[in-house]
Structure 1
Amino acid sequence: MKRCIIITAYLEKPIRQSLRLHEDDFIICADGGYDLAKKEGIIPHIVIGDFDSGKEPEGVPENVIHVPVEKDDTDTLLCLKYGIQRGFQVCGIVGGIGGRLDHTIANLQALSYGCDLGKYVVLLNGDNIVTLLNPGKMQFSKREGYKLSLFSYTEYCKNVTIKGVKYPLTNALLDHSFPIGISNEILADKAELSFDKGKLLVMLSKDKEENHLFNQFL
């Protein structure tokens, strides 16, 4: 399945240390993310932003969408909306974690926006991969050195069951004010997760000294 890859203006590591790009990826740069892409020789299909964090790129005008500084949507959310309008079901947002806390939270809400539309959207920076899931069943492959954490993004997530991990849960109730799902470990080749109500925030995180390329997002 073709992916939409959004490169944000904040990324501590090189883009190619955060994920392995595919030839058929549709690449969007959010504002100053164009500067990061240019340093690595990555040519985006479109650049969107108010350019308060980077210079407006030179080139063909139709490849740049200039938006006002004073607006309701963040540059990253505008990029996500553009990708969804183009028909992409899978979107990866590269960076946007670990800088200003308000920007990180805004990017988590961008995940929520995509989740509400039934899209699979992930936020990744080489050390973390974050997504929001609607009820259902899913699997996560084991990755050495990574911790798996589950948080209820809504008030409750009900009947949360996870197998193949150090701390399994069976029909558990997760709420948004108690982090019981943090820092689990995947022991089997794949962890199996299911829940039937709410919206679940899922994170794979590791310490910064290690590195891994996210080819398949989860």
Structure 2
Amino acid sequence: MSRFTILLAGAIRPTPALRQALAGSRIIAADGGMAHAETLGVVPELWVGDFDSAPAALAARFAAVPRETFARDKDRTDGELAIDAAIARGARTILLVGALGGPRTDHAFMHLILALRYAARGIDMALFDGTEHALPLRLGSQRIDMQPGTDFSLLKFSDLSGLSIAGARWPLDDVALPFESILTQSNQALGPIEITLRQGRAILVFQADPASA
């Protein structure tokens, strides 16, 4: 199976939609992200990290899960190590859970950067915490299913060109936007939306369907 979920240590909401997103997926935990395995009722096939944020009691409860242990002083994050482990096992689709929330803004930002990096390498990346989705945008056109009234934003990580948004309250048609523009903040879907991007790097962020929460 080439579909993997990485459990990270950020906040989650264990909604039915999140549980469904994990169904049938191979799972790897990154350090303190193992705590979500208990909440979601799953057992990862691998646990990686330096284990500086995993309490001893948690380690005891998951003692049977194979580990890959790394030094605390390293040049890759635990999440990055977990993603690389998934790819080494054949991952083509990766869902990051616990990537968007938590007490440290830098961690959420880092996970968005990682999602963009691996998406550029051809991995189908997504982030979901039970409340909010995030998807790196591909160049070209893509359709995203949304319920009418869903709030969404495009987070830019570069200048954008050839950006069109159809099916939204505030559509755009082949515009160029500098990185510092906030024009793509806080839009609303009328139903499924279609986004076309010719050049640049951005992430679509949108709220989960309340009916599936």
TM category, shorter: 0.7 to 0.9
Give the whole-Å Cα distance in 2 for the aligned partners of 1:172 and 1:158: 6
Q: How many residues are treated as equivalent by the alignment?
A: 208
Which residue, out of 133, 141, 144, partners 1:140?
144
Aligned letter for 2:45? H
- TM-score of the pair, normalised by structure 2: 0.87
Contact 2:149 2:189 survives alignment (8 Å)? no
| 1:33 positional shift | 1.4
Compute the RMSD of aligned alpha carbons: 2.3
> Using a 3 Å threshold, how does the CA distance of structure 1 residues 160 and 123 change in structure 2: closer, same or farther?
same
Aligned letter for 2:26? F
Which residue of 2 is the match for residue 194 of structure 1? 196
What secondary structure does 1:72 align onto? Answer: coil
Contact 1:50 1:68 survives alignment (8 Å)? yes
Give the whole-Å Cα distance in 2 for the aligned partners of 1:137 and 1:69: 41
Which residue of 2 is the match for residue 41 of structure 1? 41
> Using a 3 Å threshold, how does the CA distance of structure 1 residues 110 and 119 change in structure 2: closer, same or farther?
same
| 1:128 positional shift | 1.1
| 1:205 positional shift | 2.9
Which residue, out of 85, 89, 98, partners 2:101?
98
Alignment of 1:16-165 (within 5 A): 18-55=18-55, 57-58=59-60, 59-60=63-64, 63-99=66-102, 100-143=104-147, 146-154=150-158, 156-165=159-168
| 1:32 positional shift | 1.2
Deviations 1:9-46 (A, max 9, x none): 22242375634145431101111111221344311111
Give the whole-Å Cα distance in 1 for the aligned partners of 2:148 and 2:100: 21
Contact 1:138 1:192 survives alignment (8 Å)? yes
What secondary structure does 1:84 align onto? Answer: helix
